[in-house]
Structure 1
Amino acid sequence: MQAQPLIAVSDVAAASRWYQAILDCRSAHGGGEYEQLTFDGRMILQLHRWDAHHHAHIGDPQCRPYGNGVLLWFWSDDFDDAVDRIAEARATVLEGPKENRNAQHREIWLRDPDGYVVVIAGPYGDVGM
């Protein structure tokens, strides 16, 4: 089994560009209503425009913050490269980069353009480096 999270966004193309820059992933679908983002050929995230098609369970774009209680958590083999991409993209950093000794890795917490919280974590054992 593999998770394939889907988030609702206001601008699919802009969100796709942001996630591609931050996660070093690729577009596998493209379009203004729906997108699939992949890394090494595996889908890691789906983007869906709030008002495209009728999906009763996608949520309400008027309720903020989006994803309250849910974090989009990504693991990266190369945490330092991820931090460099985040700086280059001038992403909004909420916390870090920091060591999380409980999880035995480094992590950085961001806010995406739609307000979702995104965490990039390094590999297990990536502390004290």
Structure 2
Amino acid sequence: MQDVKASSTWYQTLLGVRSGCEPDHPHRLVYDRLMSGDALVLQLHRWNAEEHPNLVGPDLAPHGHGVLLWFEVDEFDVAVDRARHLGAQVIEEPHVNPAPQHREIWLKDPDGYVVVLASPDGESAEA
């Protein structure tokens, strides 16, 4: 990812989570941990930082190719509203996935990764 701080803010808004790192720490420009309560939800790391072997050469392949970041959310409609407030690019509008009987919306994050928000399995069968 190119801008960890901006991506962190985007995901915090989308998922209703918080950063687990100190807000003014300089390392937060390279790395952030997003938390829901005490649970780690997502780690963000900038490309070409700290010589991690799998984070070099960001221009060698399309960002996000073959990657889906899938999040189950308890309040699907609220999460969809947050995505719309962010102006997130919607790939697939909210729909029911019949196999797990839940609702999904497919989005792109600021770096081009596909993000899927899903209600709990079976939720659409209860309606």
TM over 0.5: yes
TM-score, L = length of structure 2 = 0.89
Matched AA of 1:32: L
Tell me the residue number matched to 1:40: 37
Letter in 2 for 1:20: Q
CA distance in 1, matches of 2:78, 2:31: 28
Cα distance change on mapping 1:103 and 1:65 into 2, 3 Å? farther
Alignment of 1:6-85 (within 5 A): 9-29=1-21, 30=23, 31-85=28-82
Is 1:104 aligned with 2:101? yes
Deviation track 1:49-95 (CA, whole Å, cap 9, x = no partner) reads 11211011224210342232121000011101101111111111100
Q: How big is the alpha-carbon RMSD for the aligned residues of Structure 1 and Structure 2?
A: 1.3
Richer in helix (by share): 2
Q: Secondary structure at the match of 1:127?
A: helix
How many pairs does the alignment contain? 121
Contact conserved, 2:49 with 2:55, CA < 8 A, in 1? no
* Ranges in structure 1 where 5+ consecutive residues have no aligned partner: 1-8
Contact 2:74 2:120 in 1 (8 A): yes
TM-score by length of 1: 0.88
For the pair shown, which has the larger CA radius of gyration, 1 or 2?
Answer: 2
The one-letter code matched in structure 2 to 1:23 is L
**Pairwise mapping of residues 77-96 of structure 1 onto structure 2 (< 5 A)?**
77-96=74-93
Moved >4 Å (runs of 4+) = none
Distance 2:39 2:20 in 1: 10
C-alpha separation in 2, matches of 1:41 and 1:92: 30
* Structure 2: stretches of 5+ with no match in the other structure: none
